[in-house]
Homo-oligomer: A and B are copies of this chain.
Amino acid sequence: MQPQVSRLEFRDAMARVCAPVNIVTTDGPAGRGGFTATAMCSVSDDPPTLLICMNERSAQTAMFLDNRRFCVNVLTQAHMHLASKFAGAIRDMAERYQAANWQTMPSGMPALLDAIVSFDCEIGDVNKVGTHNVMFGRVIDIRHGSGEAALLYVDRNYSQPKALGSFGG
């Protein structure tokens, strides 16, 4: 008989997987949005493409799909509070944006000034998988920011990477 995995078992197991924390932004005719996301992944370098996963029930889904653009801002450990604000601790979008400094990319996307790196993307294919939309982003611009350590999330707590030393094997 095939084993069954419950939603809770899956969530608890995924919580054990360490992930970098990002704020994904958008701006355009449909409005300005932004949310904290760990479900981001490099896909291909030809053409440069990444993906983000966004809960279909998010109030911002239509905005992102209508603007057809987003910017992935990779956070540093200095952004712990900002990550929580964009994860829902603050609901008002203007207030979220006031909590940090931004640079407008040539595309109009808001890039977080002291992110490690910002990936400015045009939305390509969008696949609905279960509860989420997988949005493929064609990377059309990159901005390098801070050299600080990354902000990570694992076991439902924030962390930062610590070097293991060089690999001698």
**B42 & A74 in contact (Cβ 8 Å cutoff):** no
Interface status of A98 (Cβ within 8 A of chain B): no
**B10 & A45 in contact (Cβ 8 Å cutoff):** yes
Compute how far the CA of A106 lies from the CA of B134 in the bound complex, rounded to whole angstroms: 30
Instruction: Bits for A145-169, please: 1 = Cβ < 8 Å to B, else 0.
Output: 0000011101001111111101101
Interface status of A47 (Cβ within 8 A of chain B): yes
Instruction: Bits for A17-50, please: 1 = Cβ < 8 Å to B, else 0.
Output: 1111000000000000000001111111111111
For window 115-135 of chain A, which residues contact chain B by CB distance below 8 Å?
116-117, 119-120, 125, 127, 129-132, 134
**A164 & B169 in contact (Cβ 8 Å cutoff):** no
Compute how far the CA of A20 lies from the CA of B40 in the bound complex, rounded to whole angstroms: 12
With beta carbons under 8 angstroms apart, the residue of B14, B20, B48, B131 that contacts A17 is B20
Interface size class, chain A = 35 or more
Interface status of A65 (Cβ within 8 A of chain B): no
Q: Which 8 A-B pairs have the closest CB atoms?
A: A44-B130, A10-B48, A159-B161, A41-B41, A162-B162, A18-B150, A3-B141, A81-B169
Q: Offer 18 A-B interface pairs, CB within 8 angstroms, sorted by A.
A: A5-B139, A5-B140, A7-B45, A9-B48, A10-B139, A11-B45, A14-B42, A39-B41, A39-B43, A41-B51, A43-B132, A44-B130, A81-B167, A157-B163, A159-B161, A160-B164, A161-B161, A162-B162
Interface residues, chain A, with chain B CB atoms under 8 Å away: 2-7, 9-11, 13-14, 16-20, 38-51, 53, 74, 77, 80-81, 84, 89, 106, 116-117, 119-120, 125, 127, 129-132, 134, 136, 139-142, 144, 150-152, 154, 157-164, 166-167, 169
